[in-house]
Amino acid sequence: MIDYFARIWRGSKAIVAGHWITLRYLFKPAVTIHYPDEKLVPFERYRGALLFDAETCISCNLCVKACPSNCIQLENAKNDAGKKVAKVEWYTIDFGKCNFCRLCEESCPTKPKAVWHSLDYEVVFETRDEMVRCWQKDFPFVGRYFEAKSKEFKDPRGQVRIHEVEPRRN
């Protein structure tokens, strides 16, 4: 008989504890967002899609050497005499191979970084060609992809931008 009342006491105590937790959260502000209309801004150290600034890059190849996936390629610009200069002619990142380890960003010696992870978490690729992003002078930070069928560079479609100008780490 004592065991019966002990079980009733423990059950009642558990129900009251559960209701107490519910009552505490009832008066706190809502955390839910309406996703397509509202977007969360990720934390500062979030590793989104890689962005590149061709104007800042000094073409040192440290990001290429640091990449364990071998997904970054670049070519140095050349002057009229054919000698390499400290600017990049073109830069390519293959997002199909990238494991978002951030070693390329950490190895970049420029201030601000020439390559950095954005806060974008809605990167959309419709074809394999769109996974390989290319940058040249006057290309946007997001880059363009080379479409093999039309033999031209195109802007990626469907990518939702969280910020207009992406924050960079120094």
Domains in the chain, ordered, with CATH? Answer: 50-154 (3.30.70.3270)
DSSP 8-state class, residue 131: G
Q: Is the pTM of this model over 0.85?
A: no
User: Are the CB atoms for 33 and 62 separated by under 8 Å?
Assistant: no
What is the C-alpha separation between 166 and 130, in angstroms, rounded? Answer: 21
Our measurement of the distance from residue 74's CA atom to the centroid of its chain's CA atoms, rounded to an integer in Å, reads: 20
User: Are the CB atoms for 159 and 140 separated by under 8 Å?
Assistant: no
> pLDDT tens track of the chain, all 170 residues?
889 999 999 999 999 999 999 999 888 887 788 877 777 778 878 888 888 888 888 989 999 999 999 999 998 888 888 888 888 888 899 988 999 899 999 999 998 888 888 887 777 788 888 888 888 877 777 778 887 778 888 877 766 555 554 556 55
